[in-house]
Structure 1
């Protein structure tokens, strides 16, 4: 009897065991994990105590997670306030008061190591010609959000836009007011149940339940699991990982996933495919807070790689009002760092010339408080700006396609070479 053709044979999944040198390689990472947990156990100071010490500017505006019912009541309270103004026939017209999200109202709080929203507020009038259209868009968005919450469903930002294309005209218009609505109510943007499409990916040694369905990220294929935009539906997170590997580029992430790096050195691998989205940032923050394991970042050796890392750590100015749930403190910069280019003898053809815009971005980063607080980050940026050279993570493939998983990362972990 002839054997079945090769194409019809079921391919068995390759078994990847823990690395033989696991205990040696992970020694410093395990020490970092213990330091992290010790620090968390000692961190008992309250916001009131920090304000008394003068570490937090007065009047900081921060939103909190709310239930669907609370958000619905918040929208209804705003609607009643506007109706009340109309009924009083105020000669000055009627308006909405909104916390200002202007750059001048963005405040970096060193004690929290993140950007937050200041105390300034602005008024959006319905009778002012310049503001009437924006006011109409804001109210229409609130009406649609109320309907979505009332049905207990989620929609995408694109769905919201197509509900009233004639009014919104451009999706940027409907997207922009979502942050305004969240700050007016005092809830997180995810509480509005209007989400962006899937972007982030996770693979490795983590299990959880998503809306009641069990998810094991070691059994999701080489592509891993898409991080859902509704993080509130994720529960019962479990893991035996020693650390989280945060990767800037999808290509590098795919290398980790295909090589099953997370089995050799137990970890969770996450990517947002570049600039991080809200869901990935929130998912990472939850993992960090619930599992209390170190987060090590692998980004390009250029100003944008560091800028992306700073968004994960200190937040973005656009969503400074929700930085508490979107930031992950004390992420370690593992690589690819400017000092690595010489340390690992990266070939000259893999070192790219920085553009004038790259250099300008690097110089601007050196002026930021969240960069200046870390002298070692400053040294790396100085090397980058001085040499005017940058490199991508993929440049390490010049030593071999699997060099990053078989040589570079194990050496980095063994030496504790992170800052």
Structure 2
């Protein structure tokens, strides 16, 4: 049984940490230095074409409705030509499998190799997917012609018996975007609103003026049509990217962004396309640092990697969806002892957790960052994980009043 002295030790250390927090100006000194470095970096962003690699890769670009209409009609025309030539009803679909993806260190993101596979109606293996592809092309043509947008769920319900599951229509929608050489948003199909943002940020959304400091503690939903966002303005010093909604709500309610001028956003877990596009747009326009707050477990780091390097599923659009230079602020495995997180708030890693952590250490982009490797080694060695909410053991506002200010004050990000 723990003695009273041992039970009180974490609380006493938490109180000592609270006393180390300086004024807001002093807390933000290191953030200001990082921002100056970032704004002073005038290097031109590297591109795949600029690297002149021997392997051909496939990337997509944003296209207007008329351009997408032309691409859809061209795809159907090519299918008709294939039939007339006696080769049958076939589409040439870019291969999006893992084996066809590659991490490019110079770009610090995942890209898609330019390799195609036939999707033939006459084949038992690909017949159904060829039919779904045709139906998706028809629906996209209708949307672009009418200049309207629908959600992926709406698209699924246009032909439930054919699609059977939304995963089927979602996957082939990505195939179609890749085949037509355009971003998925160019197809006028968007995901339902998921991400939210709050803080020192103002912008226009389809002509309406939005002030994210006047949206209450729930924040402003990130628009599914990010292409309708313009006029972005802010006096924020950094963007705080938060993994979970619970931490976002705590920071929003505490008005963290008023004491430490920032923009706080979350996609409530695995990031959706709109949140990734929005973050990249903010970073490009405002040119301020992005600091990430995620759980101290392999999945928190996996989520962060999707923002930074891209996802396997949408590697064809990584140039538009990734924000490579995000700094990992916390919660890091080394923070658990450093901030004296109580044992009862630490969770044992499962075998699957440990396996995921070890796989992460084998990823090229992880190996390129020794500090990340070091943190993952601590995690897999101790076999312990913790959520952001573990910080609440010292008080519900410890996150906003002590942990984050100290991390910012010390420039403790990697």
Question: 1:258–1:135: structure 2 CA closer, same or farther, 3 Å change rule?
Answer: same
Which residue is equivalent to 1:23?
25
Equivalents in 1 of 2:49, 2:62: separation in Å? 20
Equivalents in 1 of 2:369, 2:57: separation in Å? 24
The CA RMSD over aligned residues, in Å, is 1.3
For residue 80 of structure 1, the aligned residue among 70, 77, 80 is 77
Structure 1: give runs of 5+ residues left out of the alignment.
1-18
Equivalents in 2 of 1:325, 1:42: separation in Å? 18
C-alpha offsets along residues 206-263 of structure 1, whole Å, 9 cap, x if unaligned?
A: 0000011000000001100011111001111111100000000100000010000001
C-alpha offsets along residues 316-352 of structure 1, whole Å, 9 cap, x if unaligned?
A: 0000000011100110000000000010011010111
Equivalents in 2 of 1:45, 1:381: separation in Å? 29
Which residue is equivalent to 1:295?
290
TM alignment of 1:254-269, pairs within 5 A: 254-269=249-264
SS in 2 for 1:42: coil
Give yes or no for the alignment of 1:32 onto 2:34: yes
C-alpha offsets along residues 366-392 of structure 1, whole Å, 9 cap, x if unaligned?
A: 000010000000000000000000000
TM alignment of 1:4-403, pairs within 5 A: 21-39=23-41, 41-43=42-44, 47-51=48-52, 56=53, 58-88=55-85, 90=86, 92-403=87-398
Question: 1:402–1:44: structure 2 CA closer, same or farther, 3 Å change rule?
Answer: closer
Question: 1:376–1:44: structure 2 CA closer, same or farther, 3 Å change rule?
Answer: closer
C-alpha offsets along residues 256-300 of structure 1, whole Å, 9 cap, x if unaligned?
A: 100000010000000000111110011001101111000000000
Give yes or no for the alignment of 1:406 onto 2:401: yes
Structure 1 residue 94: deviation in Å? 2.7
Structure 1 residue 57: deviation in Å? 5.0
Equivalents in 2 of 1:217, 1:277: separation in Å? 20
Which residue is equivalent to 2:17?
none
Structure 1 residue 169: deviation in Å? 1.6
Equivalents in 1 of 2:193, 2:377: separation in Å? 36
Structure 1 residue 46: deviation in Å? 5.6
Structure 1 residue 50: deviation in Å? 2.0
CA contact (8 A) 2:47 2:107 kept: no
Question: 1:124–1:368: structure 2 CA closer, same or farther, 3 Å change rule?
Answer: same
Equivalents in 1 of 2:117, 2:249: separation in Å? 45
CA contact (8 A) 2:46 2:107 kept: no
SS in 1 for 2:213: coil
Structure 2: give runs of 5+ residues left out of the alignment.
1-20
Structure 1 residue 87: deviation in Å? 2.9
Return the TM-score normalized by structure 1.
Answer: 0.92
C-alpha offsets along residues 100-149 of structure 1, whole Å, 9 cap, x if unaligned?
A: 00110011000010001012211101111221111000000110111011
| Alignment coverage as a number of residue pairs | 394
Equivalents in 2 of 1:361, 1:46: separation in Å? 31
Question: 1:48–1:198: structure 2 CA closer, same or farther, 3 Å change rule?
Answer: closer
Equivalents in 2 of 1:344, 1:85: separation in Å? 65
Equivalents in 2 of 1:137, 1:356: separation in Å? 38
Structure 1 residue 80: deviation in Å? 1.0
Equivalents in 2 of 1:233, 1:43: separation in Å? 26
Equivalents in 2 of 1:302, 1:131: separation in Å? 39
Equivalents in 2 of 1:153, 1:341: separation in Å? 49
SS in 2 for 1:339: helix
Equivalents in 2 of 1:47, 1:158: separation in Å? 33
